[in-house]
Amino acid sequence: MQIELVIQDSKSGNAWDMSELVNSGINWETNIAEQPGKLTFEYIDQENISINEGSPVSFKIDGQGIFFGYVFKKGRSKNGRIPIYRL
């Protein structure tokens, strides 16, 4: 199984392939009852990567589009990882 996670920063317009920086904790949820899907994950902090709220995110597995959404909330953990919440 090959994942592809691409984020384009809403302020700078720069896009990053985050596939190698994301830990195995990607969580994708979807409901049938007219609720939006949700993707959450953490990535290893990098100096040259800036991601702001409102940035579009594309997630694919084996080339098939699984999720497209926007960063709603992000955080910072003590272990050098950046959690991204509620896309």
- Structural domain count of the chain: 1
- Domain boundaries, position 35: 3-85
Q: What Rg, from alpha-carbon coordinates, does the chain have? A: 12
Length of the chain: 87
What is the average per-residue pLDDT within 59-75? 90
* DSSP code at position 22: B
pLDDT (0 to 100) of residue 85: 63
CA-CA distance, 87 to 2, in Å (whole number)? Answer: 21
Q: How far is CA 3 from CA 21, 67, 84, 86, in A?
A: 11, 12, 17, 19
pLDDT tens digits for 32-63? 777 778 888 888 777 788 888 999 999 999 99
